[in-house]
Amino acid sequence: MSAVIDWDEIRSHYRVKDRDFPMLDEDMPTFMGVPHARDAEDLAGADVAIIGAPYVAGAKGKYAGVDKSEWVLAPKRVRQQSIRYPSGYVQDFDLDIFEHLKVVDFGDADLSPEVNANPTAENILKAQATVETKVRDVLEAGAIPVVIGQNSPCGSYAIAKPIAERTQGKVGMISLDTHWDAKPIDWLTKDPRIAGSGNWKAKTYEFHDNFSIPNLVEIGERGMLEPKEIVRYYLENGAHFIPMWKVRTELGIDGLCRELRHAYDGTDAVYVHFDMDVIGGAGPAQGDILGDLVEPIGMSDFEVIRVAHEIGRHGLDGLSFICIPPGSAAVYRLIVYIIVYLMVGLIQGRKTA
């Protein structure tokens, strides 16, 4: 596992040491030093709000063969790495995102430690509800929630659900993943109420009629992991499935970006989900840090960032991350880039609208 740069070392970095920025905790700055929104009133006028959802599935101290204590730190580690960047100026585009967007950090959902130690169905539902509340506050303020999570439902369904509930028409979905997460029931609890790490997508379509399968753009799955019945069900119902083989042999990254249009065709909202096991060893860090989740033919860091930028140009109603590979500063920085380049796309899309 790659070494993680600790907070003391980051704080002493020449780009960081002489700056002041808000702190969410003694070792956790806000994302890129943006203002801390302490309550719903502080969200007024915001365009984007960062939320942490530090929940990890599994009941025996490990998830996918990697210790849960590593996985659960993702929201903190991403924020720590984000503070390396002294401004919102993106030299690739000669554009400062903070001159065009009001971005705030809404802190972490107040998840009880009990849910990670004892993930019963009741504890999971309470944790999910806590994330939902923060997401609703952001949506009601007219901003885009960006949830840095680690497992479902707190890092996926808890974002999809409030979007569906607030939308009168159809909701599209863009999902990057190695797995379909469309099994019929949660593997951890076996409880039909839980939209867990192997079944959250199935529950989203089961629980919310306005989530439209023909407006699902599913990107990144490959190989031999999925039951054919699951994949064929979504294909037969109109999903737009883009496996990595098709990206590499036929579409390329520009062709892949053109396929995103299906999520927006006739929809009133679009939910975007990045399950970061989709990089699966392609970069920027060794795939084995994902433990059991690593698979060949993963997306590259550029491909994921490029897709995020294109999504920003189209617009979105919410973004979530799960399965952020633990223990790699480079991967935590990748999450920062995804969020920032998506915001560049938002600005560019507004200018051309």
Chunked mean pLDDT (size 10), the chain, 353 residues: 77 92 97 98 98 89 83 96 97 98 98 91 97 98 98 98 98 98 96 97 98 98 96 98 97 98 98 95 73 90 97 98 91 97 97 80
- Reduced to 3 DSSP states, what percent helix, strand and coil does the chain have, rounded to the nearest 5? 40, 15, 40
CATH code of the domain covering residue 96: 3.40.800.10
Condensed to tens digits (0 to 9), the pLDDT of residues 229-281 reads 999 999 999 999 999 999 999 999 999 999 999 999 999 999 999 999 999 87
Distance CA 50, CA 109 (A): 11
Buried-exposed string 205-244: b where 16+ CB fall within 10 A, e elsewhere: beebebbbbebbbbbbbbeeebeeebbeebeeeebbbbbb
In a domain, 236, yes or no: yes
CA distances from 212 to 172, 180, 207, 271 (A): 6, 16, 12, 11
The overall longest dimension of the chain from CA atoms, in Å, is 57
pLDDT single digits (tens) 276-294 = 999 987 667 777 788 888 8
Q: Is residue 2 part of a domain?
A: no
- Nearest in space to 84 (alpha carbons), one of 6, 18, 32: 32
Q: Cβ(81)–Cβ(137) under 8 Å?
A: no
Total structural domains in the chain?
Answer: 1
Could you tell me if residue 1 is inside a domain?
Answer: no
H or E segment to which residue 66 belongs: strand 66-67
Say if 199 falls within a structural domain.
Answer: yes
Instruction: State how far the alpha carbon of 14 is from the alpha carbons of 1, 84, 329, in Å.
Output: 26, 9, 17
Give the structural domain span for 173. 7-352
Residue 297 placed within a domain: yes
pTM of the model: 0.97
Q: Which amino acid is at 112?
A: S
Question: Has residue 232 been placed in a domain?
Answer: yes
Tell me which amino acid residue 246 is.
Answer: K
Query: In angstroms, rounded to a whole number, what is the distance separating the alpha carbons of residues 299 and 286?
Result: 13
Cα–Cα distance for residue pair 203/60, rounded to 1 Å: 25
The candidate with the shortest Cα–Cα distance to 43, out of 117, 152, 144, 176, is: 144
pLDDT averaged over every residue in the chain: 95
pLDDT for 351 equals 84
The reply to whether 212 falls in a domain is: yes
User: What DSSP line would sit under 155-174, residue for residue?
Assistant: TTHHHHHHHHHH-SS-EEEE
pLDDT at position 1:
43
The total of other beta-carbon atoms located within 10 Å of residue 292's CB is: 11
> Is 81:336 a contact under the CB 8 Å cutoff?
yes
